Structure 1
Amino acid sequence: MDRLDTMRLYARIVELGSFTAAANDLGLPRATVTNAIKALEARLGTQLLQRTTRSQRITRDGQTWYAHCVRLLADLDEVEADFREAALKPQGRLRIDLPATLARQLVIPVLPEFCARFPQIELDIGTSDRFVDLLREGVDCVLRVGELPDSGLVGRRVATLAQVTVASAAYLRRHGQPATLADLQQGHQAVNWASPTTRRPEPALEFVVNRRRRAVSLPARVTVSGVDAYLACCEAGLGIAQFPRYRIADALAKGTLRQILPALPPPSLPVHVLYASQRQMPARLRVFVDWLVELMGRQG
């Protein structure tokens, strides 16, 4: 009898309370069960069960060994189930949460590709920029743009998004086109962004100068915490703003927004997929995360 079989046998003896019951449950001769436990105790160098002709009692070491057996056997069962699921094709319901704009412009347009590849996975998609408590809300994973807070979740970077600094054509006609950061600080204003979670404003624009970040604070009459409102305020001429390039590609092409200081771009934004720490990730979640990595990698 190998070690795993012996662990299963020992666990059944503890759970059923008797050698005979465990032998009957596993279809083994009583003598085989007795000899296996004796050999186990000899190998471990400790007594696990105190036995009499009528009863048995688990020792303290026996309780510790039982706890390890239960955990290790559960891990093994989970791994085997995951591989069986992968072999049969990943399936089941997957709850995900995506930033609304990124979902609308990048993920959902190519989602039929994922559905065709994995037809047995059902997707339940939420779209928001708020903090999502994965465990409490039963969400399997979220996709988030920006630096990660210390949330205790597993984060896998899937892409970085180039950003641009822009203003509306009407704003630039009124305030002029800045050619340097010094120009920017003379008579220009920004649309301020506030975190949807904390509501704290982040008033500084950021630029990469000689490979280093440089923050520039401008006066602002408007502070917003929604992506659509941030864009609308910029398009309305209320100030300068910074966006991932994909978000405003159409506005740049139409000329309603114009890029400023192209030689001093904002830092790129990291994109992470976050999920709860698990010893074994379900196959349906694993293939979705891998697909997101593939998809976001195409954005460059």
Structure 2
Amino acid sequence: MDKFSAMQAFVRVVEAGTFTKAADSMHLPKATVTRLIQDLEKELETKLLNRTTRKVTVTVDGASYYEQACRLLDEVHELEASMSRAKASPRGKLTVDVPSSLGLAVIIPSLQDFYARYPDIQLHLGVSDRPVDLLAENVDCVVRAGAITDQSLVARRIGEFYIMACASPSYLQRHGVPQHPDELKNGHRTIGYMSPLTGKLFSLKMQKDGELTEVGGQHQLAVNDSSAAVVAGLSGLGVLFTSTFMVQQHISSGALEPLFTGWCTEAKPIYIVYPPNRHLSNKVRVVVDWIAELFAQHDLMNRKSSLPPEMCSAWTAAKESSVVMPTNAQREQVAETA
């Protein structure tokens, strides 16, 4: 039995006064409406209507059921209407968390476009490199770089970035210009980057013409925020290893100089991640789609345009010689086709 249809038929019969009028208003055969009421009474194990040849009256149980059924149907209709309005113009608060580098360089500068499309959405944007627990902290979605280890989440790949080495002119004047990554192990300072979760220093590998080396060097300063690392590099505190999109502007202005021409790092995938809700709310969906669109069109997510021109040929060769697949590629494919 379709209980919802039976409830609607019952309410129509009570309000119309006859099965014939109720059937006409619902554009159904009278026999179908009669069967729906009979099935409903059988399911509830009570008589809802008294039937005579000339009229239909409501029993005591039927009157009580009618009041509650009307209230429930009104709530369903209001819910459907609100969903239609939300789809046309999504509204409400959304909590989104992004790494500081991507938030400051890519997302926040483009928010005017987002609000022009969705003026009724209020974003609470967490901007830091601190990992968050989506469920425990009630976060709707996050942007994350690197492999997604929590396979219970939905991860949609939206871009990739690469790491490059650079330093300020003042630092290079004091310490000289290293020509090979291994030279950093003698007489140079690097700016360390620590995991915001564990405090462990990240390591980095670079390759050129089949040679692979792990970047070393002494550090006097280690930070757990990528934006802070860039400021440290601009201040001449050491050789900086950071994403190409974060330093493109500084390289163009001469505030930083690129190092190790032709050396490449492995691509770091960027994902937008959200809990595996079966029915993703429309306001979350438009944010997810907007961020994905933004990264697809943003030049800073294109390695060739992000690197200095002299490094583009090395990038092309590395791109053609290797393919980097994310560890959760299958989940990404499911998410992107959903």
Equivalent runs, 1:117-132 vs 2, <5 Å? 117-132=117-132
**1:290 to 1:212, Cα distance in 2 relative to 1, 3 A:** farther
Return closer, same or farther for 1:210/1:276 CA change in 2, 3 Å cut-off.
farther
Q: Take 1:81 and 1:209, find their aligned partners in 2: how far apart are those partners?
A: 59
Q: Secondary structure of 2:147's partner?
A: coil
| DSSP 3-state at the match of 1:230 | helix
**Structure 2, unpaired ranges of 5+:** 15-32, 48-76, 303-338
> Normalising by the residue count of structure 1, what TM-score does the alignment of the two structures yield?
0.70
Distance change (3 Å), C-alpha of 1:174 and 1:279: same
- Matched letter for residue 144 of structure 1: R
Query: 2:282 aligns to what?
Result: 283
Structure with higher Rg: it is 2
1:182-215 Cα deviation digits (max 9, x unpaired): 434443332211011111122x332133578642
More deviation, 149-158/241-250: 149-158
Once the two structures are TM-superposed, the CA of residue 264 in structure 1 deviates from its matched residue by: 0.4
* 1:17-56 map, 5 Å: 32=36
What's 1:97 paired with?
A: 97
The answer to whether the Cα contact below 8 Å between 1:93 and 1:121 also exists between their aligned partners in 2 is yes
Deviation per residue, 1:17-59 (Å, 9 max, x gap)? xxxxx99578697864555899xxxxxxxxxx8x899xxxxxx
Distance of 2:46 and 2:284 partners within structure 1: 50
Match of 1:298 in 2: 297
Deviation at 1:270, TM superposition (A): 2.0
Could you tell me which residue of structure 2 aligns to residue 74 of structure 1?
Answer: none
Structure 1 gaps of 5+ residues are: 13-21, 39-48, 54-76
Distance change >3 Å, CA 36–CA 228, structure 1 → 2: closer
Letter in 1 for 2:138: G
Match of 2:142 in 1: 142
Task: Classify the secondary structure of the residue corresponding to 2:270.
Answer: strand
The answer to whether the aligner puts 1:174 opposite 2:211 as a matched pair is no
The corresponding residue for 1:226 is 225
Instruction: Quote the Cα distance in structure 2 between the aligned partners of 1:178 and 1:269.
Output: 25
Structure 1: 4+ residue segments shifted above 6 A = 79-83
Query: Could you report, residue by residue, the CA deviation over 1:140-164 in whole angstroms, capped at 9, with x for unpaired residues?
Result: 1111233333263221111112332
Q: CA RMSD in A?
A: 3.5
Name the amino acid aligned to 2:169: A
TM-score by length of 2: 0.63
Match of 2:113 in 1: 113
**In the alignment, is the contact (CA less than 8 A) between 2:191 and 2:241 conserved in 1?**
no
Of structures 1 and 2, the one scoring higher in RCO (CA 8 A, sep 6+) is 1
Q: Secondary structure at the match of 1:201?
A: coil
Number of equivalences: 252
Q: Alpha-carbon deviation of 1:244?
A: 1.4
> How far apart are the structure 1 equivalents of 2:147 and 2:234?
26
* SS at 2:286 equivalent: helix
**1:194 and 2:211 correspond:** no
1:203-243 Cα deviation digits (max 9, x unpaired)? x3321335786422222222221223322332333322211
Question: Do the aligned partners of residues 245 and 32 (structure 1) sit closer, same or farther apart at CA in structure 2, a change above 3 Å counting?
Answer: closer
AA partner of residue 99 (structure 2):
P
Q: What letter corresponds to residue 278 of structure 1 in structure 2?
A: N
Percent identity, please: 30
